[in-house]
Amino acid sequence: MDGNGRWAKARGLPRTMGHRRGVEAVRETVRAAGDFGIEYLTLFAFSSENWRRPREEVDELLRLLKIFIRRDLADLHKEGVRVRVIGARDNLSPDILGLLEEAESLTRNNQRTTLVIAFNYGARDEVARAVRRIAAKISSGEVAIDAVDAECLDAHLDTAGIPDPDLIIRTSGELRLSNFLLWQAAYSEFVFLPCLWPDFDRDALAQALAEYASRSRRYGGIAREAAS
Ligand code: IPE
Ligand code: MG
């Protein structure tokens, strides 16, 4: 979700106003994803590198996350949304940690859509934490060194049990992954949109899905028609 700052700047508003409008786009996108039958939607809400932003902006982003969970959790639950949070949990303030855990535990049995919130998330950090978990199990004898393969790593990532993303959408015209789901994106399709995140809506999502539907995914093989 990129472009909140530029959206605000273009209107002569403070960056925080862009983040506030960005929350509206989140609401619309989560609803549209459910309507479109998307089973897993992951939103990159706050990266492990976003702490480098000015204090006031970080505070506003954290405030908006808290407001979103407090205000929207009951509705998300009613709509059958299961919330999962990925990212590092240590060093988070108790109020944020409590809200994230409440969102996960309240919605754990919902089945319509899974909303994965990437918060305090960085892919390299996630892989390093997975390696530490595996290393601990090796040293306790629970896991054999030879058993460490791609599947084992998958199972120790924050995304354990969540399928790899079929489609990754980045808004605001930037053409990079910025430490998002590096391991899981091995065969993802990418759609880059010029639209700034606060302008992202149901139509933009539909457009990205149409683009995705036109792609031929081969996973290193060859197209089915070429094989016959
Ligand atoms: C939203 O957009 C990103 C976050 C939620 C942290 P930006 O704040 O990165 O907006 P730009 O890139 O400055 O336009
Ligand atoms: Mg940005």
CB 5 within 8 A of CB 18: yes
Count up the domains in the chain and report the number: 1
Q: Is residue 222 part of a domain?
A: no
Structure tokens at 25: 């786009």
Q: Is residue 227 part of a domain?
A: no
Residues 6+ apart with CB under 8 A from 158: 86, 87, 121, 126, 129, 130
User: Which ligand 1 atom lies nearest to the CA of residue 47?
Assistant: 6
* 50 is known as an active-site residue: yes
The DSSP secondary structure of 135-169, one letter per residue, reads: HHHHHHTSS-GGG-SHHHHHHHSTTTTSPPPSEEE
CB 29 within 8 A of CB 41: yes
Ligand 1, from 11, 15, 172, 180: best to mutate by most atoms within 8 Å of Cβ?
172
Determine the Cα–Cα distance for residues 141 and 128; give it in Å rounded to an integer.
20
pLDDT value at position 192? 98
pLDDT value at position 22? 98
Q: Is residue 145 part of a domain?
A: yes
Determine the Cα–Cα distance for residues 2 and 45; give it in Å rounded to an integer.
9
Q: Domain holding 95: CATH number?
A: 3.40.1180.10
pTM greater than the 0.85 cutoff: yes
Regions of the chain short of the pLDDT cut 70:
228
CA distances from 207 to 45, 97, 111, 178 (A): 22, 35, 25, 23
Which residue matches tokens 């460490």?
148
| Structural domain for 161, as ranges | 4-171+180-215
Per residue in 37-87, pLDDT (tens digit) is: 999 999 999 999 999 999 999 999 999 999 999 999 999 999 999 999 999
pLDDT value at position 224? 77
pLDDT value at position 223? 87
* 179 is known as an active-site residue: no
Q: Is residue 225 part of a domain?
A: no
pLDDT value at position 185? 98
* Amino acid identity at 137: K
Q: Is residue 221 part of a domain?
A: no
Cα 117 to ligand 1 centroid, rounded to whole Å? 16
Determine which residue's CA is closest to atom 12 belonging to ligand 1.
3
Cα 203 to ligand 1 centroid, rounded to whole Å? 21
Q: Is residue 14 part of a domain?
A: yes
